[in-house]
Amino acid sequence: MDIEPGVGMLTGADVLHGHSHTILGAIAIAFLVRLVAPGICKFLLRNWNNEVIHHKLSWLAQSDTPSRTAMTASAFFGTLSHVVLDSLIHHDIQPLFPFSNGNPLMGLVSHDGVYQLCAIAGVLGTIACVAMQWFLRPA
């Protein structure tokens, strides 16, 4: 999604967040991600599992094949939440385009507040993931 603003910055575009930062654009990207994710996930998980086993942290190992449900939910949650979070802080986003040219989310949370919420969510998610792996590991 952020390839679009990156290209826009390099080319001096007036609008950095275009069609990929709309709900419809996010849904299209989620479908694309869902198609390519299985191969990438298998590769990354295989390497992750090799590393954690090598370092005698096998309790952190994951299934080599993520479920379809997990990949689908991740693709859609990731793209749609990206649009929502960016809509809170970027004035050039029109998340409901082509149905509306406005941005009803702009300014509901401060720029720094969005980053703080993301940092807190990241810490809590990491703690939850490690705790689940630790407590659900085989005895």
Q: Is the pLDDT of residue 87 over 70?
A: yes
Cα separation, 32 vs 15, in Å, equals 24
Name the amino acid, one letter, at 62: Q
Residue 68 sits at the vertex; the CA angle it makes with 40 and 62, to the nearest 5 degrees, is 60
pTM exceeding the 0.85 threshold for the entire prediction: no
The pLDDT value given to residue 4: 92
The per-residue pLDDT for 136 is 77
More confident residue, 105 or 63: 105
Q: Contact at 8 Å (CB) between 103 and 94?
A: yes
- Rounded to whole angstroms, how far apart are CA atoms 125 and 16? 30
Q: Output 49 or 65, whichever has higher pLDDT.
A: 49
DSSP state of 102: -
Indicate whether 24 pLDDT > 70: yes
